[in-house]
Amino acid sequence: MNEVVYLNGIFLPLEDARVHIEDRGFQFADGVYEVIACIGGTFLDMELHLERFYRSATAIGISPPVTKRKLGELAHQLYLRNAHLENATIYIQLTRGRAPRSHIPPVPNRPTLALTARKLELPDDTAFTQGIRAITIRDMRWQRCDIKSIALLPNVLGRMEARRSGAEEAFWVDNNGHILEGCSSNVLAVIDQTLVTHPLDNHVLGGITRHLCLQLAKHHGIAIQERAWHPYEAGMEECMVTSTSWMLLPVHCINERQLPSPGPITQQLRHWLMQHLASLSKKKTILP
Ligand SMILES: Cc1ncc(COP(=O)(O)O)c(C=O)c1O
């Protein structure tokens, strides 16, 4: 299998792609990233992902070396060059580039831009029926979780803790016990027939799948509240996670609390999401 990647202006085999030891991504995790799903050649919400990517880059003062449109084209070309992939995630990483190790970066800097493609295993009906188990852990991340930073050590440790506990995801909780989000997912609950999720602020990443699911729910007349909530709230009926890789999966257990899974609203949402994906794959690839 010939895996092709993009690095600083050229497409090349994965095995030949090299980044310098003094790249600030390696030295300081000084960079941002994005993950976009491509389903049978159609990118899901490409424009929203690119907007978030440029917003993250701007927030930490890195200018991407290509325009948004060009980056969309690169992602598309990369997908086509990895002909073995049907459904894929395109991973985009931008760092502040190579420089002698010092906290203060040189001006100007030459950012490193890398794109990779890998197989996307969309959860099938069995995975959906099975759902996932989650634990809660105290939030120990920085105060700008709205930036999609490559500094993911807390998320890695959170996932390791989940794995040790026999769970698939760890949910960050704040000092008041409110659920913020998962290590790589947003978390939505159904409380008294209302879809509830933490509002968009600096404690959560504005997930593109979260956005899509809220849009679909709204369109179909489901009540939505973006507010703080905790996992032992009276009236809590269902819980689910959303992300580009998982799309939408029910949560059947948070810590020791068992939940009906998949609950009826979670099932409805999955149905609408699958319909949406099917309608997209009938269209031609949409570039920004
Ligand atoms: C911390 C965090 N929250 C939420 C998400 C879900 O975002 P999206 O739906 O855009 O993949 C991710 C995805 O990686 C994430 O890392």
Domain CATH number, residue 79: 3.30.470.10
Which pLDDT value is given to residue 286? 46
The whole-angstrom separation of Cα 68 and Cα 228 is: 34
Greatest CA separation found in the chain?
56
The reply to whether 75 and 174 lie within a common domain is no
Pocket lining: 32 vs ligand 1, CB cutoff 6 Å: no
Pocket lining: 56 vs ligand 1, CB cutoff 6 Å: no
Would you say residue 284 lies in a domain?
no
The reply to whether 146 and 233 lie within a common domain is yes
Domain's final residue, options 119, 146, 162: 119
The reply to whether 166 and 73 lie within a common domain is no
Catalytic residue, candidates 68, 70, 119, 148: 148
The reply to whether 271 and 146 lie within a common domain is yes
The reply to whether 106 and 135 lie within a common domain is no
The reply to whether 153 and 11 lie within a common domain is no
Which pLDDT value is given to residue 283? 57
Which parts of the chain sit beneath pLDDT 70? 281-288
DSSP state of 86: S
The reply to whether 153 and 88 lie within a common domain is no
Which pLDDT value is given to residue 282? 67
Which pLDDT value is given to residue 288? 43
Which pLDDT value is given to residue 1? 75
The whole-angstrom separation of Cα 53 and Cα 48 is: 9
Domain range spanning residue 44? 4-119
DSSP state of 191: E
Domain's final residue, options 119, 135, 153: 119
Domain's final residue, options 63, 96, 119: 119
Phi, psi of 222 (to 5 degrees): -85, 135
Place of tokens 């319909």: 275
Helix (H) or strand (E) holding 84: none
Prediction pTM value: 0.96
Specify the residue with its C-alpha closest to ligand 1, atom 5.
185
Pocket lining: 197 vs ligand 1, CB cutoff 6 Å: no
The reply to whether 129 and 253 lie within a common domain is yes
